[in-house]
Amino acid sequence: MADLRRAPGLSAEDVSAAVRVHADRVHDFVRRLGCSPPAAVEVVETSALDLVDAVVTAPHTVQDVVGWWFGRARALGSRVAGSGQELPLGGGLLSADEDQAVLAETLEVLPERERVALLLRDSYALPAVAVAVALGTDTEAAMETVGRARLAFLQAVGDDDVLPTTGHPVQVGVLARIAEGGAVAASDATAHRHAQACAMCRSVWDGQARAHQMLAGLTVVALPEELRDSVLARVDAQARAYLPAAADLIGFDEEDLVDEPPSRWMVPLYILLGLVAAVVLGTILGLFLSRSPSGGGSATAGDPGVLPSVTGAPLPPTSPLPTTFPTLSGNPSPTVFFVTPSPSPGASIGSNPSPTGAPEPATEPLTLTATDGDGDPGSGPNGSTLTLQGTGWTQGATVTVDYLDPLGRQTGSHATATVDARGRFTTTLSAQDPSNLPGRHTVRASDGTVQASTTYDVSG
Task: Return the pLDDT at 249.
Answer: 72
**Same domain, yes or no: 235 and 185:** no
In a domain, 335, yes or no: no
Question: What percentage of residues in the chain have a pLDDT greater than 90?
Answer: 41
Contacts of 431 (CB under 8 A, 6+ apart): 372, 380, 382, 383, 384, 385, 386, 403, 413, 441, 456, 458
pLDDT in tens, 91-102: 444 455 677 788
pLDDT at 6 over 80: no
Q: Is 95 helix (H, G, I), strand (E, B) or coil?
A: coil
pLDDT at 213 over 70: yes
Kindly state the average pLDDT of the residues 341-364.
46
pLDDT in tens, 272-285: 888 888 888 888 87
In a domain, 150, yes or no: yes
**Same domain, yes or no: 209 and 110:** yes
Task: Return the pLDDT at 64.
Answer: 93
In a domain, 272, yes or no: no
Poorest-confidence range of 262-271, 273-282, 419-428?
262-271
Count Cα neighbours of 269 within 13 Å in the Cβ-side half-sphere: 5
At what angle are helices 98-109 and 199-216 packed, to 10 degrees? 120
In a domain, 133, yes or no: yes
**Same domain, yes or no: 84 and 225:** yes
**Same domain, yes or no: 447 and 417:** yes
- pLDDT confidence tier of residue 300, bands split at 50, 70 and 90: very low
pLDDT at 254 over 60: no
Backbone torsions φ then ψ of 368, nearest 5 degrees: -145, 120
Task: Return the pLDDT at 227.
Answer: 92
**Same domain, yes or no: 84 and 226:** yes
**Same domain, yes or no: 213 and 232:** no
pLDDT in tens, 65-121: 999 999 999 999 988 877 545 656 554 444 556 777 888 888 888 999 999 999 999
CATH of residue 435: 2.60.40.1930
> Between 223 and 268, whose confidence is greater?
223
Poorest-confidence range of 91-100, 150-159, 338-347, 360-369?
338-347
**Same domain, yes or no: 77 and 173:** no
Task: Return the pLDDT at 133.
Answer: 95
Dump the DSSP string for 175-203.
HHHHTT-BPPPGGGHHHHHHHHH-HHHHH
- pLDDT confidence tier of residue 353, bands split at 50, 70 and 90: very low
**Same domain, yes or no: 388 and 405:** yes
The residue range of the domain holding 170 is 92-218
pLDDT in tens, 215-251: 988 888 899 988 999 999 999 999 999 999 887 776 5
Of the residues 252, 268, 299, the one at which a domain ends: 252
**Same domain, yes or no: 113 and 25:** no
Computed over every residue of the chain, the mean pLDDT equals: 78
In a domain, 303, yes or no: no
Q: Which strands sit side by side in the sheet containing 379-380, from one edge to the other?
A: 379-380, 451-458, 439-446, 398-404, 410-418
Full-model pTM: 0.54
> Between 372 and 28, whose confidence is greater?
28
In a domain, 1, yes or no: no
CA–CA distances in Å: residue 102 to residues 87, 99, 231, 262, 434 = 11, 5, 31, 63, 21
In a domain, 384, yes or no: yes
pLDDT at 288 over 50: yes
**Number of domains, the chain:** 3
**Same domain, yes or no: 184 and 201:** yes
**Same domain, yes or no: 20 and 80:** yes
Residue type at 213 in one-letter notation: Q
Question: What percentage of residues in the chain have a pLDDT greater than 70?
Answer: 74
Q: How many residues are there in the chain?
A: 460
CB burial class (10 A; 0-12, 13-18, 19+) of residue 222? middle
**Same domain, yes or no: 83 and 105:** no
In a domain, 389, yes or no: yes
- pLDDT confidence tier of residue 166, bands split at 50, 70 and 90: confident
CA–CA distances in Å: residue 384 to residues 296, 370, 410, 429, 459 = 101, 11, 17, 8, 11
Residue type at 317 in one-letter notation: P
